[in-house]
Structure 1
Amino acid sequence: MKPIVTITLNPAVDLTIEVNGLVQSGVNRAERAQVNAGGKGVNVAACAADWGGQVTVTGVLGRGNDGAFVELFAVKGITDRFVRVSGDTRTNIKIADTASGETTDLNTPGLTVDAEHLDRVAAAALEAAKAGAIVVVGGSLPASLAADALVSLVAGLNAAGAKVVADTSGAPLKALLTATGKSLPFAVKPNRHELEELVGRPLPDIEVLIGAARDIVGRGVRLVVVSCGEEGALFVTEGETLTARLPVVEALSTVGAGDAMVAGIATALAEDKPLEAMARQAVAFAAAKLKRVGPHLPERAVVEALAARAEIIRL
């Protein structure tokens, strides 16, 4: 398996609180509370490491409360190349209602990240990203960075021979996709809502969804994956289009399922798997994650069994 590197510029400490029936404007008694190191790239790295990947993480962390991250990386065998800055990494509160299966997010502001910090992150990523490495750039940008901050970062990684998977949205995703060929990511993974935001119109059915994804492939992106919740995911390359889905499972927590899907994509790319095998692995990672709180996968045999059950439709 090729090395995997993840970049998280706006990580978070995730505080997940479970309640049985959330009561708004009232007192809620938590059944359980759990603190996890979070952020898209961190979650992707944790799941990829559970699969057996050689994983390095970088990004920006606050020195004041990096303990959960240090512990996670040590337990998972992940190489830590995060840049530390003064202050605390933000805390995001996730209220998981076990009665309804819904999750409410309260996201706090992130650290102030400047151009020097970004340069240090880029240097760490380039050092870890040998030719052929899979690099996942995940999550939102700190408010202190411009929307096009990822363009030069991705260009540098492309020049080093890495395959960049971008899992971001809004203005940063738009900036990446309007960049020149040398700055385009190898793959992007928006969800349906994020793709609708990008194209500026509703995408209510599979035909228009495929059309929007193929437009992105036409710009030079090699792989577009659109996650569609319980409907599974759409996978589009220049030569293939298919959907993959698994039967709906009872979810302990939906938090991080999309990140687990990206980990499935990244590990499949690192293993040089063909598109159908990648699609099976991606939806299996997501489904397996639904049974767990925090960025963790069950044992490999469970994930492989789910991948074998995935329904693939070629379009």
Structure 2
Amino acid sequence: MIYTLTLNPSVDYVVFADDIKLGELNRSQKTFKFAGGKGINVSRVLQAHGIPSTALGFIGGFPGALIQQKLEESEIATDFVAIQDDTRINIKLKGGNETEINAPGPVISQAETAQLFKQIEQLTAEDTLVIAGSIPSSMQADIYEDIARLCKCQFVVDAEKDLLLSVLKYHPVFIKPNKTELEEMFDCQLHTDDDIKAAARELIQQGAQNVMVSLGGEGALFVSESLVYKAQVPSGRVVNTVGSGDSTVAGMLAGRERGLSLSDSFKLAVASGTATAFTEDLATDEQIQQILPNVQLTII
């Protein structure tokens, strides 16, 4: 079973407006409310692929109840820890440039954290845990490392610099930084594919089994100890980049669950991320299948 862990989920309130002017009254053309958070996004796209998963994490208050409702409507299994504080609400403004306003998150008690740890300790070697996204400001900074230490299962990580680096010694199956995050980790500009490959190989030396690097419109790289794939993606109108990286993670996991080859799993991953970028919400299986034949892989 695949489990996705979102420590700091959110209700994502997405507002579309043609021209947002600060300090003035603005009117939206349309709005959406989504169950948000990187792990939750992975579960939603896995469901689109027909792969079941169970969403873990913390939810509370009326935003948490909405997240629970949305996932139940999508027939996604959940096992959230109920908390006393309210789950956060994030605002995504779509008016020319994308603008995001993300809240810091709720207060998580020690008892609530202990309940989550107990859930993780019960996972087995047959399970895969996806650890993704930010942490509430009330939680200790090394929480990802504590979780990785507890894992008896395989795990995947998609998180920012320090959260990701802290778990490498526990040998995640793969990690998924984007190019900007990789540059932040090494405090340098990565200009070429060879630069990116060298940085990814350094993360493998530190313990990651594989590294998948999102390059936006330029595709993606998959780097292991022995090979490197470069994926080229078809052109299209980018509508919404939120959740694209999470969709990439879900596609890779879906390929693994189906027993696909590494190259075909990577193609499915890139098609999933690209399809999400071309739609207002996360991609459907139909949208992913339309993109998939146009993803081209080369070995570099």
Q: Contact between 2:8 and 2:134, CA under 8 Å: does it hold in 1?
A: yes
Equivalent in 208, 215, 219 of residue 221 of structure 1: 208
| Partners of 2:253 and 2:19 in 1: CA distance | 36
Query: What is the TM-score with the length of structure 1 in the denominator?
Result: 0.89
Question: 1:193 and 1:168 mapped to 2: Cα distance?
Answer: 12
Q: Deviations over 1:210-269 (max 9, x none)?
A: 100011112221110111110111100112101112122113322111111111122222
Match of 1:79 in 2: 77
Which amino acid in 2 is paired with 1:167?
Answer: D
**Where does residue 137 of structure 1 map in the other structure?**
131
Counterpart in 2 of 1:238?
225
How do 1:110-189 and structure 2 match up within 5 A? 110-127=105-122, 129-157=123-151, 160=152, 162-177=153-168, 180=169, 183-189=170-176
The CA distance in 2 between the partners of 1:21 and 1:287, in whole Å, is 26
Aligned-partner residue type, residue 182 of structure 2: L
Q: In the aligned structure 1, how far is the partner of 2:150 from the partner of 2:180?
A: 29
Q: Which runs of 5+ in 1 are unaligned?
A: none
Q: Distance in 2 between matches of 1:312 and 1:23?
A: 42
**Residue of structure 2 aligned with 1:257, choices 228, 241, 244:** 244
Aligned counterparts of 1:176 and 1:119: Cα–Cα separation in 2? 19
- What amino acid sits opposite 2:244 in the alignment? A
Tell me the secondary structure at the aligned position of residue 99 of structure 2.
strand
Q: Which structure is higher in RCO with an 8 Å CA cutoff and minimum separation 6?
A: 1
Distance 1:44 1:165 in 2: 11
1:123-172 Cα deviation digits (max 9, x unpaired):
22344x44232211010111122222111211222xx2x22110011221
Superposition deviation, residue 25 in structure 1:
4.1
1:278 corresponds, among 265, 268, 285, to: 265
Unaligned runs of 5+ in 2: none
Q: Given the superposition, is the C-alpha separation of residues 119 and 268 from structure 1 closer, same or farther in structure 2, using an over 3 Å criterion?
A: farther
Q: Structure 1: which 4+ aligned runs deviate by more than 4 Å? A: none
> Is the CA contact (8 Å cut-off) linking 2:39 and 2:55 kept in structure 1?
yes
2: distance between equivalents of 1:113 and 1:23? 36
Q: How does 1:20-99 map to 2 (within 5 A)?
A: 20-97=18-95
2:149 aligned partner, one-letter code: A
Deviations, residues 44-100 of structure 1 (Å, cap 9, x unaligned):
111111111121011111133223212222122211111011121111100112xx4
- Partner letter of residue 19 of structure 1? A
Measured in 2, the distance between the counterparts of 1:260 and 1:234 equals: 15
- Quote the RMSD (CA, aligned, Å): 1.7
CA distance in 1, matches of 2:173, 2:108: 26
Match of 2:294 in 1: 309
Mean CA deviation greater in 274-283 or 229-238: 274-283
Equivalents in 2 of 1:21, 1:28: separation in Å? 8
Deviations 1:5-62 (A, max 9, x none): 1000011110000112333444332111111110100111111111111210111111
Name the SS for the 2:5 alignment partner. strand
1:7 aligns with 2:5: yes
Aligned to 2:102: 107
- Look up the equivalent residue of 2:192 and give its one-letter code: D
What TM-score do you get using the length of structure 2 for normalisation?
Answer: 0.94
- Deviation of residue 203 (structure 1)? 1.2
3-state SS of the aligned residue for 2:117? helix
| Percentage identity across paired residues of the two chains | 28
1:209 and 2:204 aligned = no
- For the residues of structure 2 that align with 1:20 and 1:186, how far apart are their CA atoms? 42
